Amino acid sequence: MSTNTPSPKPPKLIDELRKKLRYKHMSYRTEQAYVGWVRRFIVFHHKRHPREMGKSEIECYLTYLANDCGVSASTHHQALSALLFLYKEVLGIDLPWLEEINRPNRTKRLPVVLTANEISLILSRLEGKHHLMVRLLYGTGLRLNEMLMLRIKDIDFDMNQLIVRSGKGDKDRVTVLPQSLVAELQQQIVRARMVFDADRAADRKGVMLPDAIERKYPNAGKEWAWFWLFPAQNESTEPREGIVRRHHTHPQAIQRAFKSSVLRAGISKPASLHTLRHSFATHLLQSGTDIRTIQSLLGHASVKTTMIYTHVIAQGGYGVISPLDRMM
């Protein structure tokens, strides 16, 4: 008597999407964003499978986002990118009509920049780890997530540099290590070592590693060199794998502390932690640093992106004197 073994169910579309995003080494934030857009696209079209849809359905959804939801151009581009990734990378469907889809133009805005005096006012209202983290962001031009992802081995005191691994675009780069932060960073390393030693004594799970490293060296997460510079106070569950381990400090705490300090300093500019990166670049340019050097420090793929700061440093509206002032 033969038994019919039921065939395994085909993987769900969202699971396939997540699998492909991880294979492409997309960040967890990008994964969440793309999954969200694909889900909303499917629901918008009454849960039809994307294989049954194409150009007209994508354009209809994008028009809805622009006209009915009023999303920004950057959000619109992200939604389109998520759908294109779904069709090309997951479903394997060629998109010859890609160039025909209308895309809104992104509004070009000058970055918000803080003066050195404003940064000093903000710093005077911070203390402890938050004070160090804000100084580090301003002194290196790092993005917030790049700073939080720093490992012990990324701090090179001998070469006076920080190594940014797998930054935006999954690229490595180096940036300057401010000499005025050396002593504080060494103290932070001592504090991190205490947390590391406690984890090893308790035989806790090692820290998260890049996929390739974890597969090749499964115990590397328990090594001191890979430990976080800013470890979290408590363990937490890894969202992708569900593993309980120690992660780096959560960004929310430093974001709240910075926002509070900006308000208490009486600064009216819409400043965020990313404003420190803009300020780093602008102040370097004002001091005469070459634009190509700034591009390398920031990790910009194109110097055109860095050139935006040349517009910021124009004093008094392109450096001209108003005709009204000439009457005085």
Mean pLDDT of the region 140-165:
95
Which pLDDT score, from 0 to 100, does residue 24 have? 85
Assess whether pLDDT exceeds 50 at residue 145.
Answer: yes
Q: For the chain, what is the mean pLDDT? A: 88
Q: Which residues participate in catalysis according to the annotation?
A: 143, 168, 274, 277, 300, 309
Confidence of residue 4 (pLDDT cuts 50, 70, 90): low
Confidence of residue 3 (pLDDT cuts 50, 70, 90): low
d(CA 226, CA 206): 9
pLDDT above 70 as % of the chain: 90
Which pLDDT score, from 0 to 100, does residue 26 have? 84
Assess whether pLDDT exceeds 50 at residue 228.
Answer: yes
pLDDT in tens, 81-120: 999 899 999 999 887 776 667 677 766 778 999 999 999 9
The answer to whether the CB of 115 falls within 8 A of the CB of 188 is no
* Higher-pLDDT residue of 13, 314: 13
The answer to whether the CB of 118 falls within 8 A of the CB of 265 is yes
Give 177's contacts (C-beta < 8 A, 6+ positions apart). Answer: 140, 155, 156, 157, 159, 160, 161, 162, 185
Tokens of 289: 């640093």
Q: Which domains does the chain have, with CATH numbers?
A: 13-100 (1.10.150.130), 116-312 (1.10.443.10)
The answer to whether the CB of 205 falls within 8 A of the CB of 221 is yes
Q: Which region among 18-32, 39-53, 301-315 has the lowest average model confidence (pLDDT)? A: 301-315
The half-sphere exposure of 212 on its side-chain side, counting CA atoms within 13 A, is 4
pLDDT in tens, 171-202: 889 999 999 999 999 999 999 999 999 999 99
Alpha carbon distances (Å) from 149 to 1, 19, 131, 249: 59, 23, 18, 9
Mean pLDDT of the region 149-169:
90
Which pLDDT score, from 0 to 100, does residue 318 have? 60
pTM of the model: 0.81
